[in-house]
């Protein structure tokens, strides 16, 4: 578990009641640790939220930016119908390899494409097959504004844009680093852009979510 809970007791309650991990989710989390990769995957309650947002908008095609070991990707892929597709973008080949194993364990490898390289380059290729039903942003914070621009241009009306670490441990309210300032600006864009209706759900490290008008 990472330490980005806002309220441990409440979040453990949510995790236990609504977001129990099965063997594949545990594998994704534990293998990420065993391989010495950063332990920065979303919390179970975040995963459950992503899963339900995908279900609520009837998502068939989802783009995830930042795969790590496939933990959040499992939650998203399991929300898809059998003919659905998750395109998940990851810079590090090693992370992508762990993620592929996680997806196989979870029984969703047939509906997931792990795409390795800088996400912005690969989003340009995915543009051809737009629109998408949902985008989940969870990679390098400095590029969040560009990822949001891409998502706003390529998610269908009624579709959903989500982003992890929207609160940055509360620091967005009084930014201390460049990354804090960029995410604050990202949140302000989501709040004000006429193409979106947005809010931040304050579980984990903050999950921004927006419906595209």
- Cβ atoms of 18 and 45 within 8 Å: the answer is yes
- Cβ atoms of 133 and 159 within 8 Å: the answer is yes
Of 29-37, 156-164, 172-180, 191-199, the segment contacting Mg ion by CB under 5 A is 156-164
Residues 36-55 that bind Mg ion (CB under 5 A): none
Give the one entry of ligand SAH, Mg ion, none that residue 139 binds, where binding means its C-beta sits below a cut-off of 5 to 8 angstroms depending on kind.
ligand SAH
Supply 42's token pair: 């979303």
Helix (H, G, I), strand (E, B) or coil at 104: helix
Backbone angles phi, psi at 189, to 5 degrees: -60, -45
Cβ 192 to ligand SAH shortest distance, Å = 25
Cβ 90 to ligand SAH shortest distance, Å = 5
Which residues have C-beta within 8 Å of that of residue 188, sequence separation ≥ 6? none
Kindly state the DSSP code that residue 200 receives in the 8-state scheme.
Answer: E
Give the one entry of ligand SAH, Mg ion, none that residue 89 binds, where binding means its C-beta sits below a cut-off of 5 to 8 angstroms depending on kind.
ligand SAH
- Cβ atoms of 102 and 37 within 8 Å: the answer is no
Helix (H, G, I), strand (E, B) or coil at 4: coil
> Residues 164, 187, 198, 212: which binds Mg ion (CB under 5 A)?
164
- Please report, as ranges, the residues that interact with ligand SAH according to CB under 6 A: 40-42, 66-68, 71-72, 89-92, 95, 118-119, 138-140, 143
Task: Go through the chain and tell me how many residues it has.
Answer: 213
Give the one entry of ligand SAH, Mg ion, none that residue 71 binds, where binding means its C-beta sits below a cut-off of 5 to 8 angstroms depending on kind.
ligand SAH
Site string for Mg ion, 110-139 (x = CB under 5 A): ----------------------------x-
> Which residue, 31 or 90, is less far from ligand SAH as judged by CB?
90
């Amino acid at each position: 578990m990472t330490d980005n809970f806002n309220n441990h007791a409440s979040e453990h309650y949510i995790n236990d009641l609504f977001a129990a991990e099965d063997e594949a989710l545990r594998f994704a989390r534990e293998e990420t640790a065993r391989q010495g990769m950063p332990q920065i995957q979303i919390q179970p309650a975040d995963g459950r939220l992503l899963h339900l947002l995908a279900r609520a908008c009837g998502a068939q095609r989802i783009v995830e930016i930042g795969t790590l070991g496939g933990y959040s990707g499992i939650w998203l892929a399991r929300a898809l119908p059998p003919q659905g597709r998750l395109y998940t973008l990851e810079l590090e080949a090693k992370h992508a390899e762990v993620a592929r194993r996680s997806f196989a364990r979870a029984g969703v490898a047939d509906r997931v494409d792990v795409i390795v390289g800088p996400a912005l380059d690969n989003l340009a290729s995915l543009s051809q097959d737009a629109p998408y039903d949902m985008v989940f942003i969870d990679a390098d914070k400095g590029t969040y504004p560009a990822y949001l621009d891409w998502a706003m241009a390529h998610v269908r009306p009624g579709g959903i844009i989500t982003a992890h670490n929207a609160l940055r441990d509360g620091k967005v309210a009084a930014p201390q680093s460049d990354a804090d300032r960029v995410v604050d600006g990202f949140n302000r864009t989501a709040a004000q852009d006429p193409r979106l209706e947005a809010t931040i759900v304050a579980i984990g490290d903050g999950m921004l979510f927006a419906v595209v008008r």
